[in-house]
Amino acid sequence: MTVTPALETRRLVRELGEEVRTRILHEIDLTIVPGELASVTGPSGSGKSTLLYLLGALDRPTSGEVLIEGTPTSHLDDLARGALRGQRLGFVFQFHFLLPEFTAVENVMIPSMRRKDIAPAAARKRAIDDLTALGLGDYLDRRPTQLSGGQQQRVSIARAISHRPRILLADEPTGNLDSAAGESVMDIFEQLVRERGMTVVMVTHEASYAQRTHREIRLRDGRITEIIDHRRPHAA
């Protein structure tokens, strides 16, 4: 039986500029399978975040195609792209963007309340369940300023999965965290893949975190230079 990829790119190109065009990504062909924990690595300016934003339909390619669970996205209008993101994708960024006036529970409830397809009481229960599963059961009513950086990032992860997306995209999610908090975030990503069958793709500059993923996609100058399967033993 053929399995539809969670994410797929076909000859993906992204250029910037008007009169002088700068190519950021060069004809990227990539397949991410459902339930995979993948990392995208490479030096600054290699195109890591650009690729992630294209995978998440937050940006449009210059040419080529991005498919989300088999759905082509490059020719969708903004409304359709927004609906697709809201149904199938969750996002975690380096900066958590939590609303300071709201508690942890209230921040996590925001995406569900915007969708208006879940009752407030059910949205609150879901938020509490997710925060508790992420080790924040004792911090439900604290505001972001009352939480550590690692705790704030866990709240942002709970918010990103509150609408039950099948795919989670993370851009440098450990970039502002100490090593212990960063390891905690990786534990959570592994848990989401293992227990919920989610697909997680993360951009990272930390080699130790990339080694914890199933596959590491290495970029340089907008091209994939290597894909490393960390599940296979490597020669010394």
177 pLDDT band, cuts 50/70/90, is confident
Q: What is the pLDDT of residue 233?
A: 62
**Would you state the pLDDT for residue 236?**
43
E strands present in the chain? 7-16, 22-32, 37-41, 63-68, 71-72, 89-93, 167-171, 199-203, 215-220, 223-229
pLDDT value, residue 167 = 97
Higher pLDDT, 2 or 216: 216
pLDDT at 95 over 60: yes
Burial label, 219 (beta-carbon count in 10 A; 0-12, 13-18, 19+): buried
Which pLDDT does position 155 carry in this prediction?
94
Q: What is the pTM of this model?
A: 0.91
Poorest-pLDDT segment among 96-110, 133-147, 222-236: 222-236
Interval 59-75: pLDDT, tens? 999 999 999 999 999 88
